[in-house]
A and B are shown apart, each in its own frame.
Chain A
Amino acid sequence: MSILLAIAFSATPSALAADPLLMDAGPQGTSVHKLANGLTVILQEDHRTDTVALHIRYGVGAHDEKLGEHGCAHLFEHLMFEGSAHVGMNKFDEWLTAAGGENNAFTSDDQTAYHMTFPSGAKDLALFLDSDRLGWLLDGVTQGNLDNQRMVVLQERAEGYEQPNGRDWDALQTLMYDPTNPYHVPVIGTVAEVQGFQIPAVHGFFKAHYRPGNAVLVLVGNFETAAMLASVDSWFGSIPDAGPIEPRAVWKEGVVAAHDGFLEDSVEQRTVYLAWPSVPLGHKDAPALDLLGYVLSGGRGTRLDDAMYFDKNLATDEGAFPYAMDAEGMFIVYATAPKKPLTKLASVAESVIADVITTPPTAAELDRAKRQYKADLLDPLETLESRAEWLADCQFYDGRPDCLADRWKKIDAVTSDDLVRVTQTYLTPERRTSLSIVPKGDTGMMPGADVVELP
């Protein structure tokens, strides 16, 4: 065994009270282990079904791409299924599917995740497959696989972009961030860069980021902790420790000065996004911004939703929410309407935001927002798969898997004054960028808006 460290979060009554997530944990509770090669392993037993959920998270995303590499993190979301040294082409899916398992992956601005569920009798197969692609993927990254998956990625991009409003999010990030900032480029990459990926650079990207020390492996489900830990160590423990990854580059420019952009799209309704640069994940003001989102747009009876939708019928869709990444964050308000001038929608939204300062959220508004926040967090965590994802999130961002109690504590501590303060600090008119989405040929974009060229 090459286990370096184990921390057990026992499911004692006090732990239950502290962290509702541990409520369903088996007799071993939730435990964290570190293999000698640096891989962090989190295990949580749950014997209600025969299923095991596996989630492996790598600390690599669009954030880590340099010029010429944009889209490379996402490309691996494809290449990781194409075979490795001991797993032939297409055998990953073939073997896992034959065993009754299912899998998928996602790439974000900061991380890449691979997740699967499988019947407990396929435990060793799942560990074999996932360990082989961490330890020996590059034997399977051939020119043929690369060529094919580049085409699939470009088609994925094209299919998404051709849906109505399919480019909005990427356009917003492009508008918000300076071209030197990796968040400026869509996670899926640019067409030119994806077309230009070559084997040596792709191999180099993998070697730089896919290391045991840059990963968290989570297993939740029908297993005994000790036996699963031994199996994990058998399959993953022999992967060499490639050392720590290089620290992420700090880019010179971050957020572009506030400005207005627009995009023509195959839509019938106009949409305006108002975005303010805010705070990254883990920032002390993040909980207040989370709750501000609920106070503004938590359904009927909340400020923006009533002003634009329930009471006034100004918009057919609208909302407000914060979006935080490792190094940046924004607060976004959007509204969609078929014929209304976007200036009118923006003006109402800005007025609602200004009202937060002059009419601070009441105790009742804040209480509702806190309850909604907690319920929205808990509801999805009933599935093994979602819980595994959550535990990985906690480990990455809080350094421990039982972060729920701490998150709740921070939410509970937020006051109405905090909401006023973050509104005054971040959501000011001079910091506001806008993105108009208009039907082709329509000139109803926000005044002075320049066309957004997606990279």
Chain B
Amino acid sequence: MITVLLAAALAHADEVDRSAPPVVVPPTAFEHPAAEVHTVGGSTVWFVREKGIRKLQIHVILNRGAIDLDGHSTANSEATGWLWDAATATQTADQVTETEELYDLDVSSWLGNTTSGLDMEVPPEELDRGLALLSGMLHEPTFPKDEVKRWSREKLQWYTADALTSPRDLAGSALTFAWFPADHPFGVRPDLKAIKGVKSAALLEREARVIAEAPSLVVVVGDIEWATLEPKLATALGDVGKPGARTQDPAFTPPSASRWLAVDMPGNPQATIRMRTGAPLRDDPDRVVAEVVDFAIGGSFLSRLNSNLREDKGWTYGAWSSYSYDRTRAHWTFGLDVKVEHVAETVTELAKEVDKLAAEGARIDEITGARNTMVSWWNSSLETGAGSIKFYDQLHFDESTVGAERDRVVALDHVTPDDTKRVAGKWLAPANPRVWVIVGDKNAIGQQLEAAGLKVEWVSAEDAILGTF
């Protein structure tokens, strides 16, 4: 029904005062609901009833991941995560796709270091069909040979050809391999022979022995009554839970010395710059303040890097920072692209901004912006079904609770400039090891870097992608 209302036009709008920005009422952190914890068969289920969302979100998280090799190659591990959702004993790959497309199901598999899983979005009216498909993937995946071959072929194509022409991929790979040793899951060098040799039978074996026996958690978010959901989950997923301890994240020691790498990309008029340094771990008391520091240096449009290098100098389209952490490793990464003629001075400016923040800490307006932005992110974390389940998944990965995470958000209220000075001074100090990667044309940037006193190790694109430097 459409109602049409007509109102007479009146003369003028109310006058407003434009002499100063209007007063803002800062957001306050919402109280998000904790998940209901149920046991269904042998499975633990976290359930969150969320009204008004269109699709149910069902995630099956198995606490075994890329590092649980059990005699297999990393390539086998990766392929399992990629191909787990391809087909089942009762549905071919064609039939799986047809079921997904006809009934608005989205199923995907994934692999982390210590976890892996299957995710599904399903309209409530298609729940039975969706759970049957999910159950088939969990209990009887088939890893079709054609799909395995395609995975190998495309993976090799990327490592041996496509990535070599992408400056951002080259920079990312070189940085990763310079930062993480080969025996850390993030630093495992690609084994092209193993990738080529991945076989369906090996994936089936690994899945049956390593994955199917993993301790698990099922997370469900959606607009459905638990009483309706429970028997369906019991039928489809009631037996996926197995006893056992969760795989722990591997230990990691950051590089102990700074390093300068450059990847030659002849003829490229642009250069890609990355810098990485250590940062507080997820459970480090400095983490909340570090997030504020990250916001100030490169986490918002007017952060210091972007203000300087884009808004003031116009050298780049965008400069950014990223603070990434988990239980056992954490780092800051800074990045941007510039024309080759600005490479050396950009490196200098980037370092100068980081050093300045380390020496002086953040300003009060930067702290306020970080606080209000992060409270807003928190408040909108349950805006969508996909956002909600990501929130609860993360609690599981972090072994945290809604209350603890909210406390972290509330703690932003108490961050002071002195706190940021202390944390930035500790973690971003110029003396801390920093790994720099510059991807660009050696002929165009070599002399610049030398003139600036930067002694870089030149590596080839192939070595950057394969980590053989």
Binding site for B on A (CB under 8 A): 1-10, 12, 14-15, 20, 23-24, 35-36, 48-51, 81, 85-87, 90-91, 93-95, 97-103, 117-122, 124-125, 128-129, 132, 147-152, 155-156, 158-159, 162-164, 230, 233-238, 266-269, 298-301, 310, 313, 316, 338, 367-368, 371-372, 375, 378, 382-384, 402
Determine the distance from Cα of A300 to Cα of B54 in the docked complex, in whole angstroms: 25
Q: Is the CB of A97 within 8 A of B301?
A: yes
B173 to chain A, nearest CB (A): 15
Determine the distance from Cα of A372 to Cα of B307 in the docked complex, in whole angstroms: 43
Q: Which residues of A contact B468 (CB under 8 A)?
A: none
Q: Is the CB of A6 within 8 A of B302?
A: no
Determine the distance from Cα of A175 to Cα of B42 in the docked complex, in whole angstroms: 61
Check if B183 is an interface residue, CB within 8 A of chain A: no
Determine the distance from Cα of A273 to Cα of B6 in the docked complex, in whole angstroms: 51
From B93, B339, B385, give the contact of A155 (CB < 8 A). Answer: B339
Check if B257 is an interface residue, CB within 8 A of chain A: no
Q: Is the CB of B98 within 8 A of A316?
A: no
Given contact pairs A102-B300, A383-B384, a sample of 20 additional A-B residue pairs in the complex whose CB atoms are under 8 Å apart: A1-B10, A6-B7, A23-B54, A24-B52, A49-B30, A50-B27, A87-B21, A91-B21, A95-B21, A98-B368, A99-B372, A151-B315, A162-B268, A163-B166, A164-B162, A164-B166, A235-B13, A236-B13, A301-B101, A367-B102
| Centre residue among B22, B27, B103, B385 by max chain A CB count within 10 A | B22
Q: Is the CB of A36 within 8 A of B9?
A: yes
A160 to chain B, nearest CB (A): 8
Given contacts A102-B373, A367-B102, A368-B101, contact A7 B3 (CB under 8 A): yes
For B312, the closest partner residue in chain A by CB is A148
A228 to chain B, nearest CB (A): 14
- Interface size of B by CB at 8 A reads 80
A28 to chain B, nearest CB (A): 11
Q: Which residues of B contact A2 (CB under 8 A)?
A: 9-13
Q: Is the CB of B375 within 8 A of A100?
A: yes
15 sampled A-B residue pairs with Cβ under 8 A: A4-B7, A8-B2, A10-B2, A24-B52, A81-B301, A102-B376, A122-B24, A125-B24, A128-B16, A152-B317, A233-B13, A233-B14, A313-B153, A382-B53, A382-B384
Q: Which residues of B contact A372 (CB under 8 A)?
A: 101
From A90, A103, A235, give the contact of B16 (CB < 8 A). Answer: A235
From A12, A119, A155, A158, give the contact of B27 (CB < 8 A). Answer: A119
Check if B125 is an interface residue, CB within 8 A of chain A: no
For A128, the closest partner residue in chain B by CB is B22
Q: Which residues of B contact A162 (CB under 8 A)?
A: 167, 268-270, 337
Q: Which residues of B contact A95 (CB under 8 A)?
A: 21
- Which 6 A-B residue pairings sit nearest by Cβ, starting from the closest? A237-B13, A121-B25, A100-B372, A151-B314, A268-B161, A124-B22
For B265, the closest partner residue in chain A by CB is A266
Check if B369 is an interface residue, CB within 8 A of chain A: yes
Q: Is the CB of A50 within 8 A of B24?
A: no
Given contacts A162-B270, A313-B150, contact A378 B54 (CB under 8 A): yes
Q: Which residues of A contact B451 (CB under 8 A)?
A: none
Check if B73 is an interface residue, CB within 8 A of chain A: no
Q: Is the CB of A50 within 8 A of B380?
A: yes
Q: Which residues of A contact B102 (CB under 8 A)?
A: 367-368, 371
For B92, the closest partner residue in chain A by CB is A300
Check if B70 is an interface residue, CB within 8 A of chain A: no
Q: Is the CB of B52 within 8 A of A158?
A: no
Determine the distance from Cα of A129 to Cα of B93 in the docked complex, in whole angstroms: 52
B192 to chain A, nearest CB (A): 16
A431 to chain B, nearest CB (A): 30
Q: Which residues of A contact B307 (CB under 8 A)?
A: 90
B99 to chain A, nearest CB (A): 10
For B12, the closest partner residue in chain A by CB is A2
Check if B310 is an interface residue, CB within 8 A of chain A: yes
B172 to chain A, nearest CB (A): 13
Find residues 9-58 in chain B having any chain A CB closer than 8 Å to their own CB: 9-16, 18-19, 21-27, 30, 52-54
Q: Is the CB of B14 within 8 A of A234?
A: yes
| Centre residue among B11, B21, B168 by max chain A CB count within 10 A | B21
From A1, A128, A150, A300, give the contact of B93 (CB < 8 A). Answer: A300
From B5, B93, B384, B386, give the contact of A6 (CB < 8 A). Answer: B5
From A51, A128, A268, A300, give the contact of B376 (CB < 8 A). Answer: A51
Q: Is the CB of A163 within 8 A of B164?
A: no
B252 to chain A, nearest CB (A): 31
Q: Is the CB of A301 within 8 A of B104?
A: no
Q: Is the CB of B337 within 8 A of A5?
A: no
Q: Is the CB of A268 within 8 A of B317?
A: no
Determine the distance from Cα of A155 to Cα of B269 in the docked complex, in whole angstroms: 11
Check if B413 is an interface residue, CB within 8 A of chain A: no
Q: Is the CB of A97 within 8 A of B369?
A: yes
Q: Which residues of A contact B22 (CB under 8 A)?
A: 124-125, 128
Determine the distance from Cα of A178 to Cα of B342 in the docked complex, in whole angstroms: 37
Given contacts A49-B379, A50-B380, A164-B162, contact A86 B18 (CB under 8 A): yes
From B18, B150, B168, B380, give the contact of A128 (CB < 8 A). Answer: B18
Q: Is the CB of A48 within 8 A of B52?
A: yes
Check if B316 is an interface residue, CB within 8 A of chain A: yes
For B5, the closest partner residue in chain A by CB is A6
A358 to chain B, nearest CB (A): 23
Q: Which residues of A contact B93 (CB under 8 A)?
A: 300, 310
For B21, the closest partner residue in chain A by CB is A95
B73 to chain A, nearest CB (A): 23
Check if B399 is an interface residue, CB within 8 A of chain A: no
A263 to chain B, nearest CB (A): 14
Determine the distance from Cα of A337 to Cα of B98 in the docked complex, in whole angstroms: 26
A449 to chain B, nearest CB (A): 21
Q: Is the CB of B5 within 8 A of A8?
A: yes
Check if B157 is an interface residue, CB within 8 A of chain A: yes
From A91, A164, A316, A338, give the contact of B165 (CB < 8 A). Answer: A164
Determine the distance from Cα of A282 to Cα of B13 in the docked complex, in whole angstroms: 35
Q: Which residues of A contact B270 (CB under 8 A)?
A: 158-159, 162
Check if B225 is an interface residue, CB within 8 A of chain A: no
B275 to chain A, nearest CB (A): 18
Q: Is the CB of A155 within 8 A of B157?
A: no
Q: Is the CB of A267 within 8 A of B150?
A: no
Determine the distance from Cα of A81 to Cα of B301 in the docked complex, in whole angstroms: 11
Q: Is the CB of A338 within 8 A of B9?
A: no
Given contacts A6-B5, A98-B372, A164-B166, contact A300 B94 (CB under 8 A): yes
A336 to chain B, nearest CB (A): 10
Given contacts A51-B376, A90-B307, A152-B317, contact A299 B101 (CB under 8 A): yes
A9 to chain B, nearest CB (A): 6
Q: Is the CB of A98 within 8 A of B365?
A: yes
Determine the distance from Cα of A152 to Cα of B313 in the docked complex, in whole angstroms: 9
A24 to chain B, nearest CB (A): 5
Determine the distance from Cα of A382 to Cα of B55 in the docked complex, in whole angstroms: 10
B404 to chain A, nearest CB (A): 21
Determine the distance from Cα of A90 to Cα of B101 in the docked complex, in whole angstroms: 46
Q: Is the CB of A119 within 8 A of B375?
A: yes
Contact mask for chain B residues 97-128; partner A; CB cutoff 8 A; 1 contact, 0 none:
11001111000000000000000000000000
Given contacts A1-B13, A90-B302, A100-B373, contact A10 B317 (CB under 8 A): no
Q: Which residues of A contact B6 (CB under 8 A)?
A: 5-6
Given contacts A12-B1, A162-B269, A301-B97, contact A49 B365 (CB under 8 A): no
From A3, A124, A151, A316, give the contact of B9 (CB < 8 A). Answer: A3
Determine the distance from Cα of A153 to Cα of B431 in the docked complex, in whole angstroms: 36
